[in-house]
């Protein structure tokens, strides 16, 4: 670790990069600097990254580049509330912006795609009426009302459209409401007629990744997950009604990412506990080739992906614990070079991969960063959001900040995290908070047993679902934690449910097995607010005033209870939604968090 974490934190860096489908030497990126997180047009050949003046929220699925890279589409919301309209911004010098759906009410978005011929835009929009798959021209003057293909009241994510715009898919749960065991449903974009539905045997799930790049070819690349931790890749033709099972893994998790522009290969990310690597698979022969790239990670759910580039290359979005995103072009074995990003410094040691047993013997995996020296150190146990995502070896400037202030930092892929198979992911459904807290207690135990830390000097920190875990742990395991630090936290499930849009309510219903009207006892039993009087440790919270995922009211209710008990806490509000837009604000928060933590451990 180095002492330059502040500069590393504030230096401009890429958060994600998207490659245009038919102009693969250009694309779109999210560029983070001290003050803003905004969209930028990229030329991978010249290395130019041009800011568009359009704010974004860090999720890769909040903006999409047009197939020919002449424009991009993004959800323009109100102050980060994630409700609004999709707008188009031209990627020429004018940066002209226009509303694509002026006739619609505000909506949340759960997917979008543009056809390779550049003509058709499909959107998965969510209002309180349900999830609607709509289709509209991607070019020219916006139409008054887009073509409505289907409405469902059950969760439906991630729409895709074929190269010629005639077939669209939606990942649906109508066959298994209240789960995320998605099926892929294909629709005729002219009529909305269902062309086919790919349902894997329960508890399997299928997700559409992308269509064949060739107009007239309606085959779709599918990510499959099945019982017994099996993950695989299928090629499904909803029109010809054929399925080709390309490959399946049991030991590792395999996730298809892209279909090459010449139609010959699929790009895969293979994940095995501590490692991620990219492979290319020949779609005719099934032959697999591992790409020789630096160690680190190449994708992160919702946040970052790797894709094919121009001329048969692969554009790897590479990160590791101490190195921000860099776009590496892989051409052939031993022939790759950095096109964009990184911080220019040579690779340095970052996270250590660690594994420890939980109370039931399940091995839990995490990433540890620690100061040099023998310790023991005060420590931060970090809980990611989601819950169904996982932390890979990825750039975590906060970890560097904690370590440079003498703390060990352990981020935990607790039960419910993705990447360990369906059973691991779904074990928390109907039992929210139980196994996660067992796993966090195991992390605490492991830090002490290994001599990395001592019992009274371990804090818990997390954001969003991880913020729920912070408050829940403080109330249910008050003897373990020296302090709690949360960002965009969830303090009460029922209040959250009532203040949330449908797109978020469906997540609560999946986690609890139903809405508060029928499962109220469980919602209350698993809410931090129920245990607020048990909390002993000081609390520091940071919350967005326009957040629709972890809305303000439920945190205010929690804070009022702390005030009534005269319990030490700080609640800071920022102008924004479910996360910080500016690293300056984030840095101020981190400065405060480290001072607060030092005070809590008597440092
Ligand atoms: C009800 S838990 C809080 C909402 C949750 N946010 C963070 O944990 C959330 O929005 N989950 C989304 C996906 C997501 C995952 C990670 C970060 C942001 C969003 C969901 O599962 O629908």
Torsional sign, CA 267, 299, 6, 452: negative
Statement: residue 603 has pLDDT above 80: no
Cα 564 to ligand 1 centroid, rounded to whole Å: 30
Please name the residue whose Cα sits nearest to atom 9 of ligand 1.
386
Q: Is the CB of 389 under 6 A from ligand 1?
A: yes
Index of the ligand 1 atom closest to the CA of residue 467: 8
pLDDT, tens digit, 9 for 90 and up, residues 59-93: 998 999 999 999 999 999 999 999 999 999 999 88
Q: Are 140 and 100 in contact (CB under 8 A)?
A: no
Question: For strand 230-237 and strand 242-249, is the pairing parallel, antiparallel, or unpaired?
Answer: antiparallel
pLDDT at 595: 96
Mean pLDDT across the stretch 533-537? 98
pLDDT at 321: 86
Contacts for 192-200 with beta carbons within 8 Å, 24 or more apart?
192/147, 192/148, 192/149, 192/150, 194/150, 195/167, 195/238, 195/239, 196/236, 196/238, 196/239, 196/241, 197/172, 198/222, 198/234, 198/236, 198/238, 198/243, 199/175, 200/224, 200/225, 200/226
Mean pLDDT across the stretch 579-603? 85
Q: Is the CB of 291 under 6 A from ligand 1?
A: no
> How far are the Cα atoms of 5, 31, 275 from residue 233, in angstroms, in the given order?
40, 32, 19
pLDDT at 257: 98
Mean pLDDT across the stretch 311-325? 93
Index of the ligand 1 atom closest to the CA of residue 507: 22
pLDDT at 9: 76
The pTM of this model reads: 0.96
Angle between helix axes 397-404 and 583-600 (nearest 10 degrees) is: 40
Q: Is the CB of 465 under 6 A from ligand 1?
A: yes
Most confident of 1-15, 232-246, 580-594: 232-246
Q: Are 309 and 261 in contact (CB under 8 A)?
A: no
Statement: residue 278 has pLDDT above 90: yes
Q: Is the CB of 386 under 6 A from ligand 1?
A: yes
Least confidently predicted of 373-377, 535-539, 582-586: 582-586
pLDDT at 4: 67
pLDDT at 1: 42
Cα 507 to ligand 1 centroid, rounded to whole Å: 8
pLDDT at 579: 81
Q: Which residue's structure tokens are 């013997």?
A: 361
- Phi and psi for 585 in degrees, rounded to 5? -65, -40
pLDDT, tens digit, 9 for 90 and up, residues 445-461: 999 999 999 999 999 99
Please name the residue whose Cα sits nearest to atom 14 of ligand 1.
386
Angle (nearest 5°) at CA 377 between 371 and 380:
90
What stretch of H or E contains 194?
strand 194-198
- Phi and psi for 560 in degrees, rounded to 5? -60, -35
pLDDT at 2: 47
Residue 183, token pair as written in the block: 């099926």
Q: Is the CB of 342 under 6 A from ligand 1?
A: no
Strand segments, DSSP code E, in 263-342 are 265-272, 275-282, 288-290, 307-308, 314-320, 323-332, 335-341
Statement: residue 349 has pLDDT above 70: no
Least confidently predicted of 161-175, 518-532, 567-581: 567-581
Statement: residue 189 has pLDDT above 80: yes
> How far are the Cα atoms of 25, 122, 328, 529, 554 from residue 315, in angstroms, in the given order?
10, 25, 6, 46, 42
Cα 237 to ligand 1 centroid, rounded to whole Å: 32
Mean pLDDT across the stretch 231-237? 98
Cα 383 to ligand 1 centroid, rounded to whole Å: 13
Q: Is the CB of 391 under 6 A from ligand 1?
A: no
Ligand 1 pocket: which of 493, 507, 543 to mutate (most atoms <8 Å of CB)?
507
Q: Is the CB of 384 under 6 A from ligand 1?
A: no
Least confidently predicted of 299-303, 309-313, 345-349: 345-349
> How far are the Cα atoms of 28, 80, 140, 394, 502 from residue 542, in angstroms, in the given order?
30, 15, 43, 23, 24
Chain centroid to CA 403: 25
Ligand 1 pocket: which of 385, 417, 552 to mutate (most atoms <8 Å of CB)?
385
Dist. CA 86–CA 125, nearest whole Å: 10
> How far are the Cα atoms of 331, 447, 532, 540 from residue 537, in angstroms, in the given order?
53, 19, 11, 10
- For residue 594, give the nearest of 326, 380, 348, 341 by alpha carbon: 380
Strand order in the sheet with 288-290: 253-259, 265-272, 275-282, 288-290
Dist. CA 57–CA 61, nearest whole Å: 10
Coil vs helix vs strand at 328: strand
pLDDT, tens digit, 9 for 90 and up, residues 416-427: 999 999 999 999
Cα 335 to ligand 1 centroid, rounded to whole Å: 38
pLDDT at 95: 86
How does the average pLDDT of the chain come out, rounded?
94
pLDDT, tens digit, 9 for 90 and up, residues 384-429: 999 999 999 999 989 989 999 999 999 999 999 999 999 999 999 9
Please name the residue whose Cα sits nearest to atom 5 of ligand 1.
386
| Percent of the chain surpassing pLDDT 90 | 87
- Phi and psi for 502 in degrees, rounded to 5? -50, -40
Mean pLDDT across the stretch 464-491? 98
Dist. CA 370–CA 450, nearest whole Å: 13
Confidence band of 7 (pLDDT split at 50, 70, 90): confident
Complex ipTM: 0.94
Instruction: For residue 379, list its beta bridge partners.
Output: 408, 458
Q: Is the CB of 548 under 6 A from ligand 1?
A: no
pLDDT, tens digit, 9 for 90 and up, residues 565-589: 999 999 999 999 998 666 667 788 8
Ligand 1 pocket: which of 83, 386, 527, 578 to mutate (most atoms <8 Å of CB)?
386
Dist. CA 413–CA 396, nearest whole Å: 15
Q: Are 1 and 373 in contact (CB under 8 A)?
A: no
pLDDT at 346: 57
Index of the ligand 1 atom closest to the CA of residue 387: 8
Cα 182 to ligand 1 centroid, rounded to whole Å: 17
Q: Which residue's structure tokens are 């690293």?
A: 583
Confidence band of 144 (pLDDT split at 50, 70, 90): confident
Mean pLDDT across the stretch 163-186? 98
Cα 389 to ligand 1 centroid, rounded to whole Å: 9
> How far are the Cα atoms of 61, 76, 229, 370, 526 from residue 65, in angstroms, in the given order?
11, 15, 33, 39, 41
Residues 6 or more apart whose Cβ sits within 8 Å of residue 591? none
Index of the ligand 1 atom closest to the CA of residue 496: 1
Residue 396, token pair as written in the block: 């975590």
Cα 386 to ligand 1 centroid, rounded to whole Å: 4
Cα 356 to ligand 1 centroid, rounded to whole Å: 26
| Percent of the chain surpassing pLDDT 70 | 98
Torsional sign, CA 14, 290, 332, 210: negative
Q: Name the region of 591 (left: φ>0; alpha: ψ -120 to 50; beta: rest).
A: alpha
Q: Are 110 and 122 in contact (CB under 8 A)?
A: no
Dist. CA 253–CA 238, nearest whole Å: 25
Q: Which residue's structure tokens are 């072009």?
A: 329
């Amino acid at each position: 670790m180095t002492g330059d974490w502040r500069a590393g934190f504030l230096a401009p860096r890429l958060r994600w990069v998207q490659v245009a489908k038919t102009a693969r030497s250009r694309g779109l990126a999210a560029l983070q600097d001290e003050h803003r997180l905004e969209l930028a047009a990229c030329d991978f050949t010249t290395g130019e990254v041009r800011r568009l003046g359009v704010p974004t929220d860090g999720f890769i699925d909040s903006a999409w580049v047009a197939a020919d890279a002449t424009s991009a589409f993004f959800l323009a919301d109100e102050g980060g509330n994630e409700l609004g309209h999709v707008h188009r911004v031209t990627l020429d010098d004018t940066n002209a912006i226009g509303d694509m759906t002026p006739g619609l009410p505000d909506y949340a978005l759960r997917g979008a795609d543009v056809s390779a011929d550049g003509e058709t835009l499909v959107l998965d929009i969510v209002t309180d009426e349900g999830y609607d798959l709509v289709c509209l021209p991607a070019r020219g003057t916006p139409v008054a009302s887009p073509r409505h293909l289907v409405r469902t009241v059950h969760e439906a994510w991630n729409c895709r459209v074929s190269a010629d715009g005639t077939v669209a898919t939606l990942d649906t749960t109508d066959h298994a409401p209240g789960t995320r065991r998605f099926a892929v449903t294909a629709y005729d974009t002219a009529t909305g007629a269902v062309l086919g539905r790919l349902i894997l045997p329960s508890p399997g799930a299928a997700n559409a990744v992308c269509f064949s790049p060739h107009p007239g070819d309606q085959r779709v690349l599918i990510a499959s997950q099945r019982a017994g931790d099996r993950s695989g890749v299928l090629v499904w033709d909803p029109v010809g009604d054929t399925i080709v099972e390309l490959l399946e893994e049991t030991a590792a998790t395999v996730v298809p990412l892209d279909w090459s522009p010449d139609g010959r290969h699929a790009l895969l990310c293979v994940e095995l506990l501590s490692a991620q690597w990219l492979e290319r698979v020949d779609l005719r022969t099934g032959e697999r080739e591992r790409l020789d790239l630096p160690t680190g990670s190449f994708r992160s759910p919702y946040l970052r992906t790797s894709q094919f580039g121009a001329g048969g290359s692969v554009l790897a979005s590479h990160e590791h614990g101490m190195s921000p995103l860099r776009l590496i072009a892989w051409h052939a074995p031993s022939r790759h070079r950095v096109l964009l990003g990184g911080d220019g410094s040579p690779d340095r040691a970052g996270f250590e991969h660690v594994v420890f047993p939980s109370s039931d013997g399940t091995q839990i995996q995490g990433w540890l960063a620690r100061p040099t020296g023998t310790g023991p150190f005060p420590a931060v146990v970090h809980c990611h959001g989601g819950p169904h995502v996982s932390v890979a070896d990825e750039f975590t400037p906060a970890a560097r900040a904690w370590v440079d202030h003498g703390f060990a930092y352990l981020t935990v892929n607790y039960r419910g995290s993705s990447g360990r198979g369906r059973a691991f992911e779904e074990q928390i459904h109907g039992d929210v908070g139980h196994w996660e807290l067992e796993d966090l207690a195991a992390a605490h135990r492991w830090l002490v047993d290994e001599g990395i830390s001592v019992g009274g000097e371990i804090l818990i920190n997390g954001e969003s679902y991880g913020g729920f875990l912070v408050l829940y742990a403080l109330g249910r395991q008050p003897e373990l934690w020296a302090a709690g630090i949360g960002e965009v936290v969830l303090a009460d499930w029922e209040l959250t449910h009532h203040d949330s849009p449908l797109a978020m309510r469906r997540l609560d219903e999946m986690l609890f097995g139903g809405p508060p009207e029928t499962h109220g006892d469980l919602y209350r039993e698993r809410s931090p607010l129920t245990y607020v009087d048990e909390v002993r440790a000081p609390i520091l919270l940071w919350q967005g005033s326009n957040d629709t995922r972890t809305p303000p009211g439920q945190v205010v209710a929690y804070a009022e209870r702390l005030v009534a008990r005269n319990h030490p806490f700080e609640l800071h509000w920022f102008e924004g939604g479910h996360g910080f837009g500016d690293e300056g604000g984030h840095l101020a928060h981190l400065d405060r968090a480290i001072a607060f933590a030092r005070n809590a451990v008597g440092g």
